[in-house]
């Protein structure tokens, strides 16, 4: 049905009052003029709630996902594991021979996917590369050479560059661009028809604008002269960074989560999907699956330890909890540095409590 707040689809079941309460949190920020656009897609059992807010006039609005891209890239890696073309215990140097200096030769694919390789999150020269419209290949070459922060496997340190090198392995094995491999081997089998790494066949004008005036400096931060490389630029939206460059809708992201809650062998074998949402970093600073963050921290306060998902700096958060059969996808235009505390986590808390 249609409401003054946008599109709302509800199926009979428990939790609709909680979903309405979650929606009110989002609508309050629209009314206050702080938030421009958002879509909420939440499900508990057979009850599904979906609503668009503000300038997102339809629930099919396409957002820049930012780091929700990471588990999608990890899924591409694990699809090759299913085919026997790699093992997570393989050393990166097996596929990237030039990645052999010092302790680099000890880094495994699992280290890349669990943020334990010692690589940095972003390159020291990240801003300069974006200002110069560097191709993704330049980021790869810099990541191969950048100094490690610690001995591989000894610490957890969030690292986009590890995901970048995992994507490079996919491209070297398949001889296809990651965006093509994801489109054919992940998005299509899962029915994610409005998803792409980079813009794919979508137009920039057909996607939701990021509120870059609230963004961190490395994403432009609304500073003068950044419009040609910030998160709304043709350059950044098209580059298809494997750590943050996917575009999608809330319902497509929900389909992605459900493929791990209820694996059917469409993109990954059932045992592989389940492996990705198990804890691979026991004893370290954070609980990580393969590409996924693991709860309960970072999702709803009442989420179980079995919950999994990921957030994104552009103002996105997606998680699922097998214990309660709940999924929650919140896509907003307001960067996480602002929306995290006032939108993403409060909404998650309400949805998780049900």
The pLDDT score that the predictor gives to residue 7 is 40
The pLDDT score that the predictor gives to residue 15 is 60
Cα–Cα dist 287/296, whole Å: 9
All structural domains of the chain: 2-67+188-353 (3.40.710.10), 69-178 (3.40.710.10)
Q: What angle do CA 222, 223, 224 make, to 5 degrees?
A: 120
The pLDDT score that the predictor gives to residue 3 is 34
- HSE, side-chain direction, 13 A CA sphere, residue 34: 15
What residues contact 213, with CB distance under 8 A and at least 6 apart? 221, 222
- Cα–Cα distances (Å) from 235 to 62, 65, 88, 138, in that order, read 17, 16, 32, 14
CB 316 within 8 A of CB 347: no
- CA dihedral 108→109→110→116, nearest 10 degrees, is 70
Length of the chain (residues): 354
The pLDDT score that the predictor gives to residue 350 is 96
- CA dihedral 263→294→26→20, nearest 10 degrees, is 60
DSSP states of 69-102: HHHHHHHHHHHHHHTTS--TTSBGGGT-TT--SG
User: pTM for this one?
Assistant: 0.94
pLDDT digits 0-9 by tens, 182-204: 999 999 999 999 999 999 999 99
pLDDT digits 0-9 by tens, 321-345: 999 999 999 999 999 999 999 999 9
Cα–Cα dist 258/168, whole Å: 27
Pick from 306, 257, 260, 325: which is nearest to 14 by CA?
325
Low-confidence ranges of the chain (pLDDT < 50): 1-14
- HSE, side-chain direction, 13 A CA sphere, residue 97: 0
The pLDDT score that the predictor gives to residue 215 is 77
């Amino acid at each position: 049905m249609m409401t003054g707040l946008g599109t709302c689809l509800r199926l009979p079941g428990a939790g609709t009052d909680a979903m309405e309460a979650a929606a009110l949190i989002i609508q309050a920020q629209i009314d206050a003029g702080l938030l421009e656009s958002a879509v909420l897609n939440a499900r508990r059992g057979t009850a599904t709630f979906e609503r668009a807010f503000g300038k997102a006039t339809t629930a099919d609005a396409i957002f820049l996902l930012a780091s929700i891209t990471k588990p999608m890239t990890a899924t591409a890696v694990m699809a090759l594991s299913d085919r026997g073309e790699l093992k997570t215990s393989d050393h990166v140097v097996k596929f990237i021979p030039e990645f052999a200096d010092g302790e680099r030769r000890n880094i495994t694919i699992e280290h890349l996917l669990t943020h334990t390789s010692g690589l940095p999150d972003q390159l020291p020269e990240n801003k300069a590369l974006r200002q110069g419209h560097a191709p993704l290949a330049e980021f790869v070459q810099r990541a191969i050479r950048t100094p490690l922060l610690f001995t591989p496997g000894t610490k957890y340190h969030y690292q986009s560059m590890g995901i970048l090198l995992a994507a490079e392995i996919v491209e070297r094995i398949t001889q296809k661009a990651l965006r093509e491999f994801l489109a054919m081997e992940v998005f299509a089998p899962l029915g994610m028809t409005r998803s792409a790494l980079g813009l794919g066949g979508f137009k920039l004008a057909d996607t939701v604008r990021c509120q870059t005036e609230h963004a961190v400096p490395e994403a432009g931060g609304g500073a003068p002269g950044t419009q040609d490389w910030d998160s709304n630029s043709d350059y950044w939206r098209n580059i298809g960074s494997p750590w943050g460059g996917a575009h999608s809708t809330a319902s497509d992201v929900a389909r992605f989560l459900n493929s791990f809650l209820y694996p059917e062998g469409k993109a990954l074998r059932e045992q592989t999907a389940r492996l990705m949402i198990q804890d691979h970093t026991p004893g370290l600073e954070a609980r990580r699956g393969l590409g996924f963050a693991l709860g309960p921290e970072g999702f709803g306060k009442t989420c179980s330890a079995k919950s999994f998902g990921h957030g994104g700096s552009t103002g996105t958060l997606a998680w699922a909890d097998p214990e309660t059969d709940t999924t929650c996808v919140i896509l907003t235009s307001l960067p996480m540095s602002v929306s995290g505390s006032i939108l993403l986590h409060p909404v998650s808390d309400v949805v998780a409590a049900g």
